[in-house]
Amino acid sequence: MIESEQITDDGGGQGDPSTPAKPEQDTIVMVGLMGAGKTAIGRRLAARLGLPFVDADEEIEAAAGSSITDIFERLGEASFRDGERRVIARLLEGPPIVLATGGGAFMDPETRARIAEKGISVWLRADIETLVRRTSRRQNRPLLANGDPREILERLKEVRYPVYQQADIIVDSLDGPAEVTLQNVLDGLDTYRAAVKS
Ligand code: S3P
């Protein structure tokens, strides 16, 4: 099912090809655990940078014609991961976007390498309390459905945070207004770009 996925290229962000690429034209990839705010901050970041926002999970759902929960149930996690890898690879080949990835995507070495090659990764780091609270609002995450969500998130944190650490930019996902975290991401991008240029 996921094999037949077709990603609609929603364009945008491609200026006059004769003008040199502006730094704003990199694809920005949001990374982090479930509930870190990848979609909420990613949307705001895209609006601020004038780039389209794309949520990888939504793309996978559209490609498979079913929800993430259904994909996990009917096809299994391995199949979901295959689809996720392919969808993200395709999106990274397209025009610049802000891309929110699912929490497991950056754990895949191939995906990580592609992101490093094609984009700038931003890890939204959050504490367990914040993640538990935010993820409790919706029941759409199969990994949290079979057990105590706090324990599961703690386990995932142990395994994933050392890998998320490889992101280009690390920003704490704060509990206050999204605008504050957004500004920290924008500042992180400026610092990162200045460091890469020098
Ligand atoms: C997952 C995170 C989810 C989704 C899937 C698996 C994970 O995305 O991709 O349920 O492995 O952490 P969000 O991080 O956007 O909730």
Question: Could you report the per-residue pLDDT of 67-79, keeping only the tens digit for each?
Answer: 999 999 999 999 9
Q: How far apart are CA 52 and CA 21, in angstroms?
A: 17
Query: Residues 102-125: what's their mean pLDDT?
Result: 98
Q: Would the CA dihedral through 122, 125, 175, 40 be positive or negative? A: positive
Query: Residues 100-119: what's their mean pLDDT?
Result: 98
Q: How far apart are CA 60 and CA 41, in angstroms?
A: 20
The tally of CA atoms less than 13 A away on the side-chain side of residue 57 is: 20
Query: Residues 150-178: what's their mean pLDDT?
Result: 97
Q: Which of 33, 34, 152, 164 should be mutated for ligand 1, with most atoms under 8 A from CB?
A: 34
Return the ligand 1 atom nearest residue 84 CA: 9
Q: Would you state the pLDDT for residue 16?
A: 42
The confidence band for 9, taking pLDDT boundaries of 50, 70 and 90, is: very low
Query: Residues 111-139: what's their mean pLDDT?
Result: 96
% of the chain surpassing 90 pLDDT = 82
Shortest-distance Cα residue to atom 16 of ligand 1: 34
The confidence band for 25, taking pLDDT boundaries of 50, 70 and 90, is: confident
The model's pTM: 0.88
Return the ligand 1 atom nearest residue 140 CA: 10
Q: Would you state the pLDDT for residue 139?
A: 87
Q: How far apart are CA 114 and CA 101, in angstroms?
A: 13
C-beta separation of 173 from 181 below 8 A: yes
**Statement: residue 22 has pLDDT above 50:** no
**Statement: residue 23 has pLDDT above 60:** no
Q: Which of 106, 141, 163 should be mutated for ligand 1, with most atoms under 8 A from CB?
A: 141
Mean pLDDT of the chain: 89
**Can you name the residues that pair with 125 across neighbouring β-strands?**
172
Q: How far apart are CA 83 and CA 64, in angstroms?
A: 9
> Any residues with Cβ below 6 Å from ligand 1, and which?
34, 38, 57, 68, 102-104, 141-143
Query: Residues 121-126: what's their mean pLDDT?
Result: 98
